[in-house]
Structure 1
């Protein structure tokens, strides 16, 4: 019972932090405005870890590598801790095991990214219908525009209704299927 509680707490706290670090990475990658409550929340929550890490991990090509690498390392650490809590021991092949953990962690980041995209598209679609001039609308528009643009070229609005979010959501769901399969396949190496 204690092990289950600890697993739940670790997964919740570290998983949330990985999610916020990924959000920070994508906010900077897509040049989304940070002058809003959500941007300020993400910055305040991650600055204590990201700013010192930037001294060691510089950005490249406008990418905030510190946020991404920290998310990857924390996800790998989380997977390792959950593995240990199951009662497993690393054994002699710890180098291979570390490679598997960080491979699964990278696949988990891809899965988190797709879930983040799905959530942002849903929120943006609701905001565009309910209150297109909401303070968070520019943030969600900046985050979704690069992903919706190809679908907007293929599917024109029908009766002033933009169906591109629907097609983007279907595409994201389709990408999740092989990603889940690949993650399970790599995780079986543990």
Structure 2
């Protein structure tokens, strides 16, 4: 079986960085969009997908215009919904509750928010929907971590050790199947 390239690009810097932005639809900065366009320039993507939130959607549209690729919007690539914490700075959230979440996000999801298991199921469905050809997905840090869990088998504790700054590009070689698997081909800040 032949693998295909899957490039996961975290959106560029939003207007208000450092917040727990799940469903919060913060605008990207022009510099953040430009950083994403720069990362996408030489990937050879044949399919372009983005989360429906504007910090990904606008970067995806700029990339699509630059590469002459149609943009597919897929809400399954959204960030984890932080519920009552959404849009807040981490220092404005109860430290003990936030610590429990980082330790075990499935058992201790944000109040009114999404569990790790729900995020993984959503991203898994999005991965399964991809055509097996070189693909670029403009998405969020949590969705990238969920994809690594699904495709490479990392658990959530291992995934928190990855620094995924705004505009980071993670390239994988994916082998479709049940379950799919992947090898990390590169991580580009």
More strand by share: 2
Same fold, TM exceeding 0.5?
no
More helix by share: 1
Specify which structure has the bigger relative contact order, considering alpha-carbon pairs within 8 angstroms and separated by 6 or more residues.
2
| Structure of greater Rg | 1
TM-score calculated relative to the size of structure 1? 0.30
TM-score calculated relative to the size of structure 2? 0.30
